[in-house]
Amino acid sequence: MLKYLGLFIIIGLITAGLTSLIYSYVIVDEVRVYKSSVIVSDFVGIDASRDSLRFGAVTPGGTSKRNITISNTRTYGLRTNIMATGNLSPMVKFSDNYFWLEPNESRTVSLMAFVPSDAAQGTYNGTIKFYFKRV
């Protein structure tokens, strides 16, 4: 029994190491992470901060939109995808996702927060992650 457990642990460690190596050095070129939040409130408010992707204050059933321009300054193409995390993630949608950026190409992506009409008041937090993969 212990022999099989040891073998299982060794295979697991090798698999994890190879996955980490491929993910870090071969596939993912860069990950950009931005703090994000939306405040569900009975009033509307704007947050124009440039160091994060905050959607401001939104009433239940309302929406808020932020635009971000991303650029590929590399000499090779990048496949790009965007993910939202945290309790904010079910509310966030992207105008474009899973797209290719050629060298020296830029693209503006709209990020929208759709607050459900039955959302409880409060602050919903998370991150918006941009994954850039060399293909």
Q: Which helix (H) or strand (E) holds 13?
A: helix 2-21
Instruction: Write the pLDDT tens digit of every residue in 74-84.
Output: 999 999 999 99
Q: Which of 53, 124, 128, 31 is nearest to 84 (CA)?
A: 128
Q: What percent of the chain has pLDDT over 70?
A: 84
Which pLDDT tens digit goes with each residue over 86-122? 999 999 999 999 999 999 999 999 999 999 999 999 9
Beta strands across the sheet bearing 63-71? 63-71, 106-114, 92-94
Q: Provide mean pLDDT across the span 14-35.
A: 73
- Tell me the pLDDT of the chain averaged across its residues: 86
Pick the CATH number of 30-134 from 2.60.120, 3.30.420, 2.60.40, 1.10.3470: 2.60.40
| pTM value > 0.85 | no
Listed by start position, the domains of the chain span 30-134
**H or E segment to which residue 4 belongs:** helix 2-21
> pLDDT grade, residue 52 (50/70/90)?
confident
Tokens 């904010």 belong to 88
Instruction: Report the alpha-carbon angle 109-110-114, nearest 5.
Output: 150
